[in-house]
Amino acid sequence: MSGEEVLDSEESQIPSDQRSGRSRGLLMLRDVAVIIVVALILSTLLRTFLVRTFSIPSGSMEQTLQVGDRVLVNRLQPKPFGVSRGDVVVFQDPGGWLAAPSAAAQGWSLGRGVQDALTFVGLGDSDSHQYLVKRIIGVEGDHLVCERVGGPLSVNGVQLDESAYVAPGNASCARTFDVTVPADSLWMMGDNRGNSRDSSAHIDEPGKGMVAVDQVVGRAFVISWPSSRWQGVDAHHEVFADVPDQSSSAE
């Protein structure tokens, strides 16, 4: 006999077919873990830089958007590609436009935890209550006038025909105002004018109803859910085709 004896390890005592099966299982787990990590990274990048999903909680944008609709929002607007009159956009509460969330909404539950996780990776919308969705009616420098309730709205002296998107039974002007949009700001209005706490409802507050461009999350471009509502979100730019911009309308 040789002066050395080789002791069998525990693994060497396991049949080769069992060792092979365990190795395949570990490789499969590793591959699944890599796929999950890559998917999380890609979805987070997508949510951060390209597209987000939001749920519509109220009827302020009917008939364009209905309660329960989910919309995809293009995060490349307003930066770097900008936004225009007529675009439907999601924006952060400028301050006091939304009621504070209830204690129950702020608390933790298993369901909310799952929803928050889905929101984090771009598949959910648990933070939709922190944002609003409206249509851009005025951009920097625009002069907007509603002379009487029930009357038409004019932008830079041009009277608009908003019948393409204002909800049936609603007039363009649910409130009177005469405002000029300051630099880097927007004037937002809901399509359901009689049921929308939009810029026109906040003109007596410190912000004068204006929304900073930097508060815009992105432009809503498609209704993704429910499937029966799948369609694009029309900006109706033709409504504003005859409106001069601020440079050409300035005296």
The catalytic site residues sit at 60, 134
Are the C-beta atoms of residues 234 and 162 closer than 8 Å to each other?
no
CA terminus-to-terminus distance, the chain: 110
Task: Determine whether 57 is exposed, middle or buried from the number of CB atoms within 10 Å of its CB (0-12, 13-18, 19+).
Answer: middle
Amino acid in the structure at residue 90: V
For residue 143, the surrounding DSSP H or E stretch is strand 143-146
- For 170, other C-beta atoms within 10 Å of its C-beta total 20
Sheet-wide strand order for 154-155: 158-159, 154-155, 143-146, 177-180
Hey, what are 86's tokens? 């007529």
3-state helix, strand, coil in the chain (%, to 5): 30, 20, 50
Residue closest to 81 by CA, chosen among 53, 56, 49, 42: 49
d(C-alpha 74, C-alpha 88), whole Å: 11
